[in-house]
Amino acid sequence: MLIAIPDLLDAAGVAAIRALIDPTDWVDGNVTSGHQSALAKRNLQLPEDSPAAQQAGQAILDALGRSPLFIAAALPLKIFPPLFNSYAGGQAFGVHVDNAVRIQAGTGFRVRSDLSMTVFLEAPDAYDGGELTIETHFGVQQVKLPAGHAVLYPSSSLHRVEPVTRGRRVASFFWLQSMIRDDAARQMLFDLDRSVQGVAAALGQGHDEVIRLTGVYHNLLRRWADA
């Protein structure tokens, strides 16, 4: 499941985050890499314990909590604190799969990485390259979205960031553990949720069929969820 989340952050939200993170000292992006990723990764990153990164990350978490589309698509149980990276001057991240379990440095907090998310923080016409390239069952998908938009995709997928040959690509990235481990089941629940909303818009929230479909959704969620 690859889902674009438009307008997760508005222009003011993007500007506020950039004002926090741009003046901060950036470090080698391999500080959070596994062995495989370190062989392919060339970028800069904000340290996890950076106050600016933590404040900016909280702004993104707040925005996620306000996004019905994100909640419906991800059914999040735990979210790894958002991180921030930067690519410029030919930097790239070669093909890799994200680690199955992510552990926050210096804490006992960990998540099973069911889904990965990228929040774009730079206008796409401000840099060349930098596409997030994801290999899916339906072929290769390239994603390069406006600032403030985000994309959600399975952490198990092969993916890469293409070289940035002009300008600077700035983004937030993180992983989350869904209440629904299985990607196919999560997709079915997402499709059912959208259908329920469509039927409710046509017939009204109190219609018998809407109530029945809502019951089916929650009974499936109850059956499949780890919560």
Of 106, 112, 96, the closest CA to residue 43 belongs to 96
Q: Judge whether 35 is annotated as a binding position.
A: no
Contacts by 14-23, CB closer than 8 A, 24 or more apart: 14/121, 14/147, 14/148, 16/59, 17/56, 17/59, 17/60, 17/121, 17/172, 18/121, 18/170, 20/52, 20/55, 20/56, 21/46, 21/52, 21/53, 21/56, 21/84, 21/170, 22/170, 23/52
Asked if residue 96 belongs to a known ligand binding site, the reply is yes
Q: Does 168 appear as a known binding residue?
A: no
Q: How many CB atoms lie within 10 A of CB 140?
A: 11
Q: Is 163 helix (H, G, I), strand (E, B) or coil?
A: coil
Instruction: Report whether 98 belongs to an annotated binding site.
Output: yes
Question: Annotated binding site, which residues?
Answer: 96, 98, 159, 169
Q: Which residues are annotated as a binding site for Fe cation?
A: 96, 98, 159
Residue set of the binding site for 2-oxoglutarate: 169
